[in-house]
Amino acid sequence: MAAAGEYSFAAEYDGPPLPYSLPRAIPLDLSRIPLASLSSPTSPPPPTAPPLPVVRPLTPSSLCSAESKRDSLGRGSRVLRRLLSATEVELVMRSERECAANQLRPEDVYVNGTKLSPEELVMLQGCQCPPSKLRPGFYWYDKVSGFWGKEGHKPHCIISPNLNVGGALDQKASNGNTGILINGREITKSELQMLKLAGVQCAGKPHFWVNADGTYQEEGQKTVKGKIWDKPIVKLLSPVLSLPTPNKANNQCGEEPVNVVNRPIPDYLEQRTIQKLLLVGSGTNTILKQAKFLYKSRPFSVEECEDLRLIIQSNIYNYLGILLEGRERFEEEAIADRRTTCQSDPSSSGHCEPELCNDITEYYIAPRLKAFSDWILKAMAIGNLEDIFPAASREYAPMVEELWKDPAIQATYNRRSELPFLPSAASYFLDKAVDISRTEYELSDMDILYADGITSSDGLASTDFSFPQLALDGRGFDEPDPQDTLLRYQLIRINNKGLHENCKWLQMFDDVRLVIFCVAVSDYDEYYEDANGNVVNKMMETRQLFESIALHPIFEQMDFLLLLTKFDILEQKIGKSPLTSCDWFSDFTPLVSRNLINGTSKSSRGSSTGSTLAQMAGHYIAVKFKSVFQSFTERKLYVSYVNALDQESVRSAIRYGREIIKWEDEKPVFGSSETTYSEEPSSYSH
């Protein structure tokens, strides 16, 4: 037993996740430990009382939390859940949440420039739709429409209207610069985009009155022009634009507010928080679709499946058209080479052998297939291929199958590296051309993953999901954190085409928590022709896009996760096509055996590192992106590999992104923001 007057305590570790298990401590039974009790100053302690070790229990009232740490209120750490039972953790966390010292003070909240009174704060928190995550600060509130936001920012949510709180709404409350007013407030560019999606005519910078139900009319007019929320696309894209949509439970005027003084859990802790993840780069379609399969009971609606089915059926003829164009080019080149050889051969005396002078090459197709080929190419040239197919896909499916299996088309496909517009999934769908063309054709999960795009427009797309458990690997899961079940995640995918126009979409994502940038490591030797006719290396273009996003002011302090995809394709081609074919990788000089360089090594292992050439190339690419990111931002780049066609690999990558967010959130809790960091790409999602 400890000597008199001595005691010890355990400090809770709240740092980053550890790769090993912590020793489990047996919690103390506080009821068996003597506690200090208050006594009268005039009552001396009994002279015979022996000195006892004293444990002073910490109460939540002695821990007045800083506002920067309010998010951590009521959240039990991993170590605490190991030391105490789930019931005990919940009691401790509830006590922390209910503590009076941790409640919001009305004098710390200003609405429309006016400090709230206690009664106004009760009214604000007690309405049917209160503002989420209410903190000390300055807010603006549109009492007519219910729009609510921070001073100088766009609307954050829509709360109950007609609440008698705060002062009058200022015209520059949200710092808008569009010249268009809603209920006397100049709106922001994001709100203007929302109005355009809703079909509201904004020419001439009109002023509108907008009611809580979404109906709107121009100032000075009595006629209601429409309802903003009637169009489904508005509700679909408003979250992507970080704009709120109305809740069905919005409080109407005259409804009695609920007194929240005696509520056990404040409203700002009950609101479900959305953590946004921005997905950009190569292969993002497949990753987003995998996320839908992972976290949605119904990943795709009937309409979405029908869109994907039409996309697949139409793309079969696009793939075939690319192959037919390549076949014609390769055939012309082969014939020209034969004639050149015949003319340059001095022994021929101007006369060629019959087999050299004819126009039949390995790219020759029979007249019947040639007529069908010419018809498809003509439809592509006119631009009405999509009008013909897939309506006629069932009729011509056998011809497509026969053409695809023809030796000339197979010879063309073997030179697919020279066909930059032919996707890697072309052979998968062309092999199933007849089945896909049937009217009763039903999509398989793999069909959906291989399909180009997500919707017919292939623009912005997103999916919401949540998962209650957190683990660093698939071998062990901690007990579910009750607070984690309140978190929702939104994975937002942007098509690269929308980012090339001066990154116009990026300004809409100022509240994203993590940018996930995907890089296809197999792009190093692939090229395409841009609109100006210039031949562009895909990896160099990816680097340029990465730099433009990393340097964008919106993401100045945001974390980045680099996902390296298509590693399997890299393994197939690295032996034949060196990584140095990309100018950016000209200094790639791995130490490998002579057999590996010649492509004859069965093990494909380096002579000293034990890694394959593809693994060394992948690590090299990761370090190159890390160096670029560090040089421009002086920040750290997280890296992981992912196989987009493997569901568990995508699950691990998404969980790793969640771990990064949690790690960044916990940094201020346990001290220094400096962390141990390695240039090695993470093997988390192998």
Lowest mean pLDDT among 17-21, 67-71, 441-445: 17-21
> For residue range 540-597, what is the model confidence (pLDDT) as tens digits?
999 999 998 998 888 888 899 999 999 988 998 898 889 999 999 999 988 755 554 4
* pLDDT tens digits, one per residue of 214-233: 888 888 777 788 888 777 77
Question: Do 500 and 641 reside in the same domain of the chain?
Answer: yes
Residue 277's pLDDT band, with cuts at 50, 70 and 90, is very high
Q: State whether 650 and 529 are in the same domain.
A: yes
Predicted TM-score of the model (pTM): 0.59
Q: What is the 3-state secondary structure (H, E, C) of 69-80?
A: HHHHCCCCCHHH
* 310 and 239 in a common domain: no
**Could you give the angle at which helices 393-405 and 367-382 cross, rounded to 10 degrees?**
120
CA torsion sign, 156 to 159 to 161 to 164?
negative
pLDDT for 398 beyond 50: yes
pLDDT given at position 648? 93
pLDDT at 42 over 50: no
- Same domain as 645, residue 533: yes
Distances (CA, A) of 495 to 124, 191, 283, 451, 528: 40, 22, 10, 15, 17
Which of 246, 666, 651, 656 is closest to 483 using CA atoms? 666
pLDDT in tens, 486-501: 578 899 888 776 565 5
Mean pLDDT score across all residues of the chain = 75
- Regarding whether 416 and 368 lie in a shared domain, the answer is yes
Same domain, 436 and 549: no
According to the model, what pLDDT value does residue 684 have?
Answer: 39
Quick check: 25 pLDDT over 60?
no
129 and 242, same domain (yes or no): yes
Reported as a single tens digit per residue, the pLDDT across 344-396 is 765 555 555 555 556 688 999 988 899 988 888 888 887 766 666 655 667 78
Q: Do 176 and 324 share a domain, yes or no?
A: no
Residue 37: is its pLDDT beyond 70?
no
- Annotated binding residue 145: no
**What total of structural domains would you count in the chain?**
3
Domain extent at residue 637:
494-670
- The tokens of 304 are what? 């979405």
What is the C-alpha separation between 342 and 482, in angstroms, rounded?
80
In a domain, 455, yes or no: no
Residue 257, in any domain of the structure: yes
Task: Measure Cα distances from 453 to 295, 310, 311, 317 in Å.
Answer: 19, 12, 8, 16
Query: Is residue 178 in some structural domain?
Result: yes
Angle of the 367-382 helix axis to the 302-344 helix axis, nearest 10: 120
- Report the CATH number that the domain containing residue 552 is assigned in CATH: 3.40.50.300
Task: Indicate the residue among 409, 432, 447 that finishes a domain.
Answer: 447
Asked if residue 572 is part of any domain, the answer here is yes
The secondary structure of residue 23, as a DSSP letter, is P
Looking at the structure, tell me whether residues 437 and 513 fall in a common domain.
Answer: no
Q: Does residue 569 belong to any structural domain of this protein? A: yes
Q: Give yes or no: residues 541 and 434 share one domain.
A: no
Pick from 626, 636, 644: nearest CA to 568: 644
The answer to whether residue 552 is domain-embedded is yes
Within a domain: residue 76? no
Q: What token pair was written down for 378?
A: 């003509």
Top-confidence range, 108-122, 332-346, 662-676: 108-122
Domain contains 470? no
The answer on 316 and 253 residing in a single domain is: no
**How far, in Å, CA of 245 to CA of 191, rounded?**
12
Q: Which residue has the tokens 């209650």?
A: 468
Of 392, 425, 447, the residue that ends a domain is 447
Distances in Å between the alpha carbon of 229 and those of 48, 147, 206, 215, 252?
A: 78, 14, 19, 8, 17
Indicate if the pLDDT at residue 466 is higher than 50: yes
Of 47-51, 463-467, 518-522, give the lowest mean pLDDT range: 47-51
Per residue in 606-645, pLDDT (tens digit) is: 444 568 899 999 999 999 999 999 998 888 899 999 999 9
CATH of the domain at 316: 1.10.400.10
Share of the chain above pLDDT 70, in %: 69
Q: What pLDDT shows up at residue 496?
A: 75
Identify whether residues 336 and 224 lie together within a single domain: no
